[in-house]
Amino acid sequence: MNRLLIFTLLLITACSEKLNPEPTQETDQSITILGIAQDAGFPQADCNKEHCQQFWEGRVEKRHVVSLGLTDQTTGQNRIFEATPDFTAQLHQLKTISAIDDLSGFFLTHAHIGHYTGLMYLGHEVMGTSEVPVYTMPGMRSYLETNGPWSQLVNMNNISLQDIQADSAIRLTQNLSVTPFIVPHRDEYSETVGYRIESPTKKVLFIPDINKWHIWERDIIKEIAAVDVALLDGTFYDAEELPGRDMSEIPHPYVEESIKLFNNLPASEKSKIMFIHFNHTNPLILDSPERREVEDLGFRVASEGQIISLN
> How far, in Å, CA of 67 to CA of 84, rounded?
7
| In the predicted structure, residue 9 carries a pLDDT above the cut 90 | no
Per-residue pLDDT, 7: 39
Q: Is the bond leading into 43 cis (omega within 30 degrees of zero)? A: yes
Of 5-9, 144-148, 227-231, 266-270, minimum mean pLDDT range? 5-9
CB atoms within 10 A of CB 210: 21
Per-residue pLDDT, 27: 57
> How far, in Å, CA of 289 to CA of 246, rounded?
26
Which segments of the chain does DSSP mark as H helices, in order? Answer: 2-19, 50-56, 87-98, 113-116, 138-146, 150-155, 220-225, 255-262, 267-270, 289-296
Per-residue pLDDT, 243: 74
Q: Report the top-level CATH class of 26-309.
A: alpha beta
Per-residue pLDDT, 241: 79
Mean pLDDT of 216-236: 97
Grade residue 18 by pLDDT with cuts at 50, 70 and 90.
Answer: very low
Task: Confirm if 76 and 69 have CB atoms less than 8 A apart.
Answer: no
Average model confidence (pLDDT) across the chain: 91
Per-residue pLDDT, 179: 98
| In the predicted structure, residue 239 carries a pLDDT above the cut 90 | no
Which segments of 189-279 does DSSP mark as H helices, in order? Answer: 220-225, 255-262, 267-270
Task: Confirm if 233 and 213 have CB atoms less than 8 A apart.
Answer: no
Which range, 3-17, 45-59, 72-86, is most confident? 72-86
Per-residue pLDDT, 14: 39
- Give this prediction's pTM: 0.89
Grade residue 33 by pLDDT with cuts at 50, 70 and 90.
Answer: very high
Q: How far is CA 46 from the centre of its chain?
A: 25
Percent of the chain with pLDDT over 70: 91
Mean pLDDT of 90-102: 97
Digit-coded pLDDT (tens) for 99-153: 999 999 999 999 999 999 999 999 999 999 999 999 999 999 999 999 999 999 9
> Which neighbouring-strand residues pair with 42?
63
Per-residue pLDDT, 102: 96
Digit-coded pLDDT (tens) for 140-186: 999 999 999 999 999 999 999 999 999 999 999 999 999 999 999 99
Could you give phi then psi for residue 72, rounded to 5 degrees?
-120, 105
Start-to-end CA span in the chain (Å): 48
Mean pLDDT of 264-277: 98
Mean pLDDT of 40-54: 91
DSSP structure class, residue 44: P
User: Taken in order 19, 97, 114, 110, is the CA torsion positive or negative?
Assistant: negative
Which range, 24-38, 111-125, 249-263, is most confident? 111-125
Per-residue pLDDT, 80: 98
Residue among 185, 208, 207 at smallest CA distance from 277:
208
| In the predicted structure, residue 79 carries a pLDDT above the cut 80 | yes
| In the predicted structure, residue 87 carries a pLDDT above the cut 70 | yes
